[in-house]
Structure 1
Amino acid sequence: MPLTTLIPSRQKLSAKIVGALLGFLGLALCAIGVTLYLSWQLEGSAAAINDTGSLRMSSYRLAIVLSQSGTDKDMAARQALAARQMGQIDATLAQLQQGDPQRPLFLPPTRAIHGEFERIGSEWRRELRPAAQALASGQGAGGLQSYLAHTDRFVARVNALVQLIERDSEARTFWLRASQLALLALAMIGTVSLIYLMFSLIIEPVTRLHEGLHRMKEKDFEVRLAVDSGDEFGQLAQGFNQMADRLQALYGKLEGLVQTKTAALEHQNRELALLYDSAAFLQRPQPVEPLCQGFLQRISDYFQADGGSVRVLDAGRDNLHMVVHHGLSPKLVEREHCIKVGDCLCGEAVQKKVTVIHDLRKLNNGYELECRREGFATVSVFHIYAHQQHLGFFNLHFRTPRELDAREQGLLETLGQLLGTAIENLRLGAREREMAVSEERNLVAQGLHDSIAQGLNFLNLQVQMLDQSVRDGKLDDVAEIVPALRAGVQESYEDVRELLHNFRSRLVEGNLVGALETTVDKFRRQTGIAAELVADVDGAPFPREQQLQLLFIVQEALSNVRKHAGASRVTVRLKDSHDFLLSIEDNGAGFDPALLEGRGDSHVGIHIMRERAQRIEASLSLSSTPGVGTRIALTLPQAHRRAA
């Protein structure tokens, strides 16, 4: 039966053990109860013997008191003493008749003992007590001898009762010892029985199971255990036999299974190696042709393909351009270097967006015979995707028929996604570089407009004025215009030199403070203005892009100081802790910020600095007071800092 079969409650090992223990417990409790009951009765009988024996002493004391003579005063004392003795005998008889479970005290429950006790009580109440009362009151002085003889008979009856109780106690003592011996025998028999039960129910099955496991450990898969019970050990034996059957069958096929698993692991390792190698190769910065060529070479070597190609989709024209190929004849490449979506087998696969593996032996259409003329028997088509966007496909050509299983197809589809991601990253990188160049050219144009264009416009006006003065023969005006032209040309020349220097600025190993020191030092030497850099750097390093933008902002600010401020001192402060703070202060002429806001973006220098600050997610503020100076402050919060 299967291991999940429910075991009847009466056959369970726990039920058997609990039943045996409860049986022995019941017998032990019965024996102990009998022993306790007999002991309790013996204690009560012993107390009854003591109290019954005390009747003899009390009777004799009463006889002694009654036999005494004396004066009337002595008579009163004798009567009181006799009354006390009679009361004591009455109390003893009442105590024996009622019993006292607390002591314990009671007469044994036999007819002979209770009959004798009734006769003793009756004799005391009817004969002996009235005679004693008469003697105590002095009315029966002549009957003293008769009373004493009656007392001897009463004591004899008491002795007889005591003997009956003692014989009963002897019998109960015998049964008490017998019950104790029975309890001892029960303990011995129970212990032996429990040991036998444990051996038969637990130890023996466990021993058989252990021996079976040991034999199986020694590769004896023929071993089987006898199922001779329906309890848990019976199910364990049956499960052991089923396990032995399974192990015997598996061990016979173990070598084949090991070879199969080894081959599967080797295949998986080769797949992982191909994926890792392809992913590492596709992450290298390289043009698209070497990228596709290296990818195609790797998958062709892995699948032992005789040829292959990679095509990229031109979605605007529905053209499929062959980027790289190998193993194909020049004629086939020339004919199919560019195909339309929907043409040929590959074009149909692109149109339907399905993975296709063609067996060319079963195809007879004219345009489908070109690959077969090349000697290929199987052509596969796998698509190149990136972010749900179809970018093209790649082929694998086989000269011998080849079927790709589901695992190989899944591997090739994954590789197609890796190639698509790499191609898309190349395109995105090119677009990013194009945008960066465009943005930088825009800033360059703005810088030229703010410096060279304005200077050239001034020179153009001066030349026109010079031409008009020459025509009019106004030599005095010519003498005034020529120095202005010379100063304008010199200023434009200095602007060009400054712009060229700024455009060629580079960071040495990403050291922002060093680049700023070089910039401030050159500004100081070229302009003669006292310039100082105060740097307190304790923060994490910036990436190069952010450092370059900060350097350009400082250069632009110093250029504005040179052109417009007329300052004698400039201080560049850099504080890099939790937040990054950069300020450029001068003591020049200053200006009214409201006038600058009214000009909007016409002041290109300030506009360029703000654009550069926005690129690195920093905020730029400007404060100035006419006659006092100008301060430009840039703040970059910790939350917007990028990791270097």
Structure 2
Amino acid sequence: MTKTLQDIETQPSVPKHSLTRVISRTMTLMVVMAALAISVSILTLLQSHSDARAINVSGSLRMQNYRMAYSIETKAPEAEIQAKIVAFEHSLHEPALAKLLDRNTPPPLKRKYQAILDEWQVLKAHLTDPAKRPLYLAEVKSFVDRIDKLVFLLQSHLEDKVAMLVLFEAICLLVLLATAVFAIRFVSNQVVQPLKLLLHAAYQVKRGDFSVKVKTGKADELGLLSDAFNDMAADLAKLYEDLNQKVAEKTEKLHLANNTLSVLFQCSEAVHVSHVDDAQITELMNKIIDNTRINAMQATINPQLAHALRDRSSVGDMTVGGPRVCFALYINDISLGHLELISAEELDENELRLMSTFSRLISKVLHVELLLQQEQQLLLMEERSIIARELHDSLAQSLSYLKIQLTLLRRATQDVEGPSSAIMADLNTGLNSAYRQLRELLSTFRLSVKDDNLKTAINTVLKQLQPQTEAQLQLDYRVSEYPLPPHQYIHVLQIVREAVINAIKHADAKQIFVRCVYDGEGKIDIQVEDDGKGIGGEVPNKLHHYGVAIMKERAESLDGGLEIANKPDGGTLVSLCFPAVGNSVT
């Protein structure tokens, strides 16, 4: 009976007689011996350098003693004698010699050096006293002999080191040679020969002879490989018998692929016949689920499309267990969301290819929706720009002309006393008010929102108004993930602008805050508050003020509400609350 793959996997990972273990140990031994020999050689070389320096310095001590004795006998100047004493003492304490006092130094050598140091202290006392220098001359010969014995001990110590190094290197070389011979014979017998048998058997299998058997008779890796090769040859014969069944399975998969093409064709027709909405996307996902093994599917749309489509559409129960696959929805490097699905079992290649194509189809649909949204925004901005230009060219020029005429009239009647002066003052006030309101209206029409970024637009409005007041204008914006349609942007910006202008003119505040938050239930709350004097008893009049009335109309167009009230701790609070996705059209 042939072994199954499961039977082979349950066998020990390392055989009883492992080739890799023997080879690795052999190579490790060779590397260790080589590294040890090199390390010992380098260490000995470094130490020998210091020993050679010690021999040279100790040899020079003899000549320096004779020179001092000669200087004393020839009655050389005192300065010359003192200089030679200093030079001798410096050589005697040379670092190469001072190392002889380390504990690693052989005891005879250490004792000899220490004796010379002690004797030098006695001779140094004789040298420093001119009256005792004859005593030094009497002892110089014996002192030089002791230095000779130190040099001899140093040479012997160095020669012993070299001899030990040669012996150690010879042992390492013999071990390396023996290991190399063993490795060559082992690889030849245990690796090369079995590999030749396996190569011959592989050639037989290539020719179609599946009855071939490899018999190595070894319980090592190549023995296991031979057994696996024999099992493989037996399994190949069985695989040929299963070809008919595989053909049937392929036929079934082709039939499934035909069904998937049909589903994709139906989906393509559905998305091209009309404008796509949430219901159609849900219907397309239902068709995919009906024709595949997918149990549930969910499409998550990125925020820039959230006002046109629901940010999340799902079919089936996404909480059940099972393999999950996620496909990114993008086109032209623009991220539009992602498509997540759950299946009872792993999807095959055809089903994955179907879902990949379906995700690209949904991406194209969403991209078209995004282009339509951008086109709508551009048209709206263009329309408002045209209206602003027409107002500027007609009404603004007319008001400017009236201001000029009123100024000329006041100059012509400045000497006239009576009711006409008060009437002209009222006319001037009314005309200035109308001109100011016209400028604000033009600013409103010229507001533009770029890249669906309401935060940037509100910041721009606050920067424009900051020079008009000493109060600090601040923005707290927390709705960046919930974009608004273009018409909502304009209404929100104008309400914020009007509320901030009212606070600047009437509140006498030090700080004005604009807060934009998302309440988590599909509504956006925008608050404009100040720390000023509040509206007090003027609330009824303020509620019917023309500017406030316009703000309320804009709030109603957003399907929301506007409230104006005093804060408990002082100041005024203007609150605008409206759905994140509105149905009104400007």
Quickly name the TM-score band, shorter chain normalised.
0.3 to 0.5
Give the TM-score taking structure 1 as reference length: 0.33
Which one scores higher on RCO, CA 8 angstroms, separation ≥ 6?
Answer: 2
